[in-house]
Structure 1
Amino acid sequence: MSDRLQAYEIFAELMDRKSFSETSRILRVPQATVSKQIASLEAALGVQLFIRSTRRISPTAEAEELIPHVRHMLDARAEVLRVAHGELPKLSGKMRVAAPHSYGRRILLPQLVEFMDLYPDISIEVALHRSPPDLLDNKIDLALSGATILEGPYHQRLLSTHRWVVAGAPAYLDQKGRPSLPMDLEDHWLILPEVFPSDMLTFDSEDGRQSIEIRARLTGNDVDFSEGAAWQNAGLAILPDWMLGHDGALEQVLADYVLEPIPVRLVFPEAKIIPRRVRALIEFLVERAGRM
């Protein structure tokens, strides 16, 4: 073990014990080593971590700010070692996860099932929504956010990037024709979800950027509604790309013209210590997103 890593382990134990002698006993190292490593860590960081007196020690504000990061680092190292030895960390407990309706059913659900197979002692309560809930009021541990940016005391991490696409039912396209250029959409009624971020469709292609005004015949507050309307031959729907390819009911058009991206973010409340089960789910989802 490196001296710096040992210093962090001693620091974490000392934060719990508030005693050099007790820390020495628990870690089975000489008390002089405890004092030396703490002094070395303070010198390296350029801050005082403990106020020492003849009867007790007290952590400084800098130590209180540092300790959650140190515990996170030590936990992560321990999990890496367990995985390297073919072990999965023992995780248990309950999590509340929020996700947009369509993404939750089509993308998140199979990933959660796989995650729970790995960690059978974890239970997950899923809240599917059309508009993001307040994470703190609803005790949400982790939320997935698409087009809507969540404001508040939250950490946000990009999970993946999807695209808006234009799609229609094959029967509708056979009857009305398949557009080959963005300007051809002027001959079609469009079905638009409220979460679409603009009143213009802006396409990028090898020929440059083209924008057309949206003439929405039908709007709804849910992308599943837009998909259903397209099934009913009501027009061409603007949909996230994750809604295509599952059942083949809708056909994408203008595939050579790229609409704006949909960033999918992982959002979780700011906290000094993120529960290990939540961190495990975050890393699992990030790893799975890399396979898509």
Structure 2
Amino acid sequence: MKLPDFEAWAIFAAVVEQRSFSGAAAVLGVSKATVSKAVARLEARLGTTLFHRTSRRLTLTASGQELADRARRILAEGEAAEEAARDAASAPSGLVRVAAPMTFGILLVAPLLAEFMAAHPGVRIDLSLSDAFVDIVDEGFDISLRIAELPDSSLRARRLGPVTGHIVGSPAYFAARGRPRHPADLANHACFAYTNTAMPDVWRFRRAGGEEAAVRIEGPLRADNGDAMLPALRAGLGLAYLPWAMVSRDLENGTLETVLDDWSRGSAALHLLTPPGTVRPARVELLIDFLTERLRRSCNEGSAQPA
């Protein structure tokens, strides 16, 4: 059996990443001739052309585009395997890139990362907080925390626990507009729309016994972050569906109240996602295990409750 030409695959991946032979050579610390020979060797072995070459441009052929992701994975697996071997012989060190929703990240993830870094001083964290969808492969994240009903995906996902939220409004709002008794009543209320969902203007509900309801909502405020809704909620301008962690203090001090508590808005859960592949540096594995254990505990105890 003839072994794969792993060096050629890795060099091909570097050329794709740098978009030039000379750029790949500089990054890899080899000559441009070495890069050119490796690509030619791989093309001969595969029986196909990987690049269109002109004096000014280097572009992937259709075959090259199909094979580029495989090459990146081969290179990433090799790098991760070497890092894992090095880390096993010493204290974990290096960078881990983490993505998380904005408010959830501030309230729950950031304190956990501080605890983790104190225990592992060689590890550095790059934390990105956004409620927008994050493509962790294209954007180079090691870990992403996502609150959703996940579609089928090539990503590796761990379900950490269920998440719930509440429909909330101020006592002044309910005094002026009344309290909805059924989801259908929300059509006559001012409801704030959270825009980082597929259908922000349609709220779907379910309750014990199997009854379901859907209502199209309208209101004076649309936002891509729940914290931005809180001032308008406290001012009595409408209702919103928000996570427990975000509204718990307002519920405790009475500035906000919940309604329709016997209805739920689906089965969203907190997931920890990682890119495809089975080999990861020890520092990434350590952080995955730490976050998994701590966030599962938070979900089970009801202290996270993001939605």
The two structures have a TM-score, normalised by structure 1, of: 0.62
Q: 1:281 aligns with which of 280, 287, 295?
A: 287
In the TM superposition, residue 142 of structure 1 has moved relative to its aligned partner by 0.9
> Which residue pairs with 2:192 in the alignment?
191
May I ask how many residue pairs the two structures share in their alignment? 213
**Contact 1:164/1:260 (<8 A) preserved:** no
In the TM superposition, residue 152 of structure 1 has moved relative to its aligned partner by 6.8
Any idea what SS the aligned residue of 1:130 has? coil
Distance 2:97 2:152 in 1: 19
Any idea what SS the aligned residue of 1:230 has? helix
Distance 2:198 2:165 in 1: 10
In the TM superposition, residue 277 of structure 1 has moved relative to its aligned partner by 1.4
In the alignment, structure 1 residue 237 sits paired with structure 2 residue 240: yes
In the alignment, structure 1 residue 154 sits paired with structure 2 residue 160: no
In the TM superposition, residue 242 of structure 1 has moved relative to its aligned partner by 3.4
| CA gap 1:113/1:170 in 2 versus in 1, 3 angstroms | farther
Q: 1:259 aligns with which of 261, 265, 269?
A: 265
In the alignment, structure 1 residue 204 sits paired with structure 2 residue 206: yes
**Contact 1:147/1:196 (<8 A) preserved:** no
Greater mean alpha carbon deviation, residues 176-185 or residues 251-260: 176-185
In the TM superposition, residue 290 of structure 1 has moved relative to its aligned partner by 2.6
Q: 1:224 aligns with which of 220, 224, 227?
A: 227
| CA gap 1:291/1:220 in 2 versus in 1, 3 angstroms | same
> Which residue pairs with 2:91 in the alignment?
90
In the alignment, structure 1 residue 174 sits paired with structure 2 residue 180: no
Distance 1:215 1:234 in 2: 14
In the TM superposition, residue 256 of structure 1 has moved relative to its aligned partner by 1.6
Which of the two has higher C-alpha Rg? 1
Runs of 4+ in 1 over 6 A off after TM superposition: none
In the alignment, structure 1 residue 120 sits paired with structure 2 residue 126: no
In the alignment, structure 1 residue 140 sits paired with structure 2 residue 146: no
**Contact 1:164/1:261 (<8 A) preserved:** no
Structure 1 residue ranges without an equivalent (≥5): 1-63, 79-88
Distance 2:113 2:249 in 1: 18
| CA gap 1:288/1:272 in 2 versus in 1, 3 angstroms | closer
Any idea what SS the aligned residue of 2:269 has? strand
**Contact 2:272/2:292 (<8 A) preserved:** no
Any idea what SS the aligned residue of 2:211 has? strand
RMSD value, Cα: 3.3
Distance 1:207 1:149 in 2: 25
Distance 1:125 1:201 in 2: 34
**Contact 1:99/1:128 (<8 A) preserved:** yes
In the TM superposition, residue 146 of structure 1 has moved relative to its aligned partner by 2.0
